[in-house]
Amino acid sequence: MATPSTPRPRTSTRDPEQLRARLTDWIDGWLPGATATGLTVPQSNGMSSETVLFDLLHADGRVQPCVLRLAADPDAYTVFPRYDMARQYRCMELVAAHTKAPVPRLLRLETDPAVLGAPGFLMERVDGRVPPDVMPYTYGGNWLHEASDAERAELERASVAILAELHTAPVAEAAFLRSSAAGETPLRQHVNEQRAYYAWVAAGHPASPLIERAFARLEQLWPADEGETVLSWGDARIGNVIYQGFTPAAVLDWEMAALGPRELDLGWFVFLHRFFQDLTVAFGQPGLPEFLDRQRVVAQYAQASGHTPQDLGFYTLYAALRHAVVMLRIGYRQIHFGEALVPADPDKLIMHRDTLEAMVEGRYWN
């Protein structure tokens, strides 16, 4: 998960020297003689799980660039209530084993929090570039914004094709992703989980009238046919893809993975672009209005997968609603750390409030 365009709130800080020592001990346990060098925490780090870059120096002198993902520090007022690193690891393993979607090569899972200070996993570092969240790629001055329309069209087509490819992963192998929430269908369970997440975020605070209206509106738009259940990537957006040129080289960030309809990822994919685009327009810039157009993305997905997506009005609203809950949590987190004041109206914490309101009222998509 990322924090678009807010001043970057603090991440939990773990002592890098201590981490380096722990990492070296850990590696020595399964790769005797190897050491960790050049430990860095990247600038574009999100606020949930922590990402640490380093080089694995093998006993024979070979250097292997690596990325360590660690579960967020529970004392740091985390964005999500849980960080299940084993679940993410297994998800990436499954995608790597059964699809052609590119995921970073996995090296090791560590579930014991005592070893590295938190559960985590190690993967290979993939070369390339990621569309930035801060400042969003819709603003000028980044590689994607500077690219030609044809290059962006190619990136769009290839990224949608990756979504279709991910959705071919065998659900029978993904029982570990099954939700424990109540509900007759995977979608109902998914939404019930989001209601529970909202209740967790809002506990001890006034309710958000807008989020509650959005949940009510979802019920009115509920799909008549929920379609097939697939492995849903979760945080499905171009900001979680490493590109080489304009071609996807790695699909990252599996902490929101779940089982559910194909359209969960499509709705999120389209909405997260609109989120950045609408913010950019609100700041008086044109952004990239032609990019990741909803109808074109749907058509491209249909072509790539053979399944025509349905009910995108429901799924884009659901994405905007879920993102609003995350925004609320991030707002309360800033308040918790004394970085912001409590607004009288909690909906002020939702950066895309106007978009969500327009979606709830059915006047967003024209």
Ligand X SMILES: Nc1ncnc2c1ncn2[C@@H]1O[C@H](COP(=O)(O)OP(=O)(O)O)[C@@H](O)[C@H]1O
Binding site for ligand X (CB under 6 A): 1-2, 42, 44-46, 48-49, 51, 67, 104, 123, 125-126, 130, 240, 242, 250, 252-253
Measured over all CA atoms, what is the biggest interatomic distance in the chain, rounded to whole angstroms? 63
- Determine whether 278 is an active site residue: no
Q: At what angle do helices 149-166 and 294-305 cross, to 10 degrees?
A: 50
CB of 103 to ligand X, least distance (A): 8
Q: Which is nearer to ligand X, 9 or 46 (CB)?
A: 46
Backbone angles phi and psi of 12, in degrees to 5: -65, 135
Min dist. Cβ of residue 173 to ligand X (A): 22
Question: Residue 49 or residue 300: which is nearer to ligand X going by CB?
Answer: 49
Least gap, CB of 240 to Mg ion (angstroms): 4
Residue with the CB atom nearest Mg ion in the bound state: 253
Q: Are 208 and 202 in contact (CB under 8 A)?
A: yes
Q: Which does 130 bind (CB under 5 to 8 A by kind): ligand X, Mg ion, none?
A: ligand X
Q: Closest Cα partner for 210 from 322, 356, 363?
A: 356
The nearest distance, CB 42 to ligand X, in angstroms, is 5
| Residue 50 vs 156, nearer CB to ligand X | 50
Q: Which of 75, 133, 225, 235 is catalytic?
A: 235
Collapsing DSSP states into helix, strand and coil, what is residue 30? helix
Closer to ligand X at the Cβ: 8 or 22?
A: 8
Rounded to 10 degrees, the C-alpha dihedral 34/39/43/45 comes to 50
Tell me how far CA of residue 212 lies from CA of 187, 318, 337, in angstroms.
18, 12, 26
Contacts of 188 (CB under 8 A, 6+ apart): none
Distance, in Å, from the CA atom of 199 to the CA atom of 58, rounded to the nearest integer, reads 47
**Beta carbon of residue 212, minimum distance to ligand X (angstroms, whole number):** 28
For residue 104, the partner it binds in Mg ion, ligand X, none, with Cβ less than 5 to 8 A by kind, is: ligand X
Q: List the structure tokens of 284.
A: 């008086």
Residues making contact with Mg ion (CB under 5 A): 46, 240, 253
Pick one of ligand X, Mg ion, none as the site partner of residue 45 (Cβ within 5 to 8 A by kind): ligand X
| CB closer to ligand X, 252 vs 264 | 252
Question: Annotated catalytic sites, by residue?
Answer: 235
